Amino acid sequence: MIAAMIASALAAAASAPPPPAPRDYSGLWTRWSGANDAALRAEAARQPPATPTGPLRAGTPELGTRVGEIVRTGDCEEGERVARAAGDFPLVEAVRAHCRAIPAVSRHQSSVR
């Protein structure tokens, strides 16, 4: 009797096919029109960056002095980053021109000190 119940339970379990896997692959792809619309909405909602206040504003002697000190230590990337953060793009170009003129070996040696 127990064997008959086990056999019927196994037969019932074996006869029930598993549910078919969904064949909808639409979730795997990005709808570019939707992505573009979302990006345009996000860009329109973005607030412009606040104008830097304090001594490190574009065109101030304090900014030039600070960037000069950074570049003098050999950290051209940080000097460029500080000038860019302040919005002083002529100073960014000056840092780039100065750092290009320095051989890479001496820039590395001065940053190691």
- Per-residue pLDDT tens for 30-40? 777 777 788 88
Contact in structure between 86 and 56 (CB atoms under 8 Å): yes
pLDDT tens digit sequence for 48-101: 555 555 667 888 889 999 999 999 998 999 999 999 998 899 999 999 999 988
The angle formed by the CA atoms of residues 50, 51 and 56, to the nearest 5 degrees, is: 125
Please give the model's pTM, rounded to 2 decimal places: 0.46
Residues 6+ apart with CB under 8 A from 111: 73, 74, 75
Distances in whole angstroms, Cα of residue 59 to Cα of each of 5, 21, 49, 50, 100: 90, 64, 18, 16, 22
Helix (H, G, I), strand (E, B) or coil at 22: coil
The owner of tokens 């119940």 is: 5
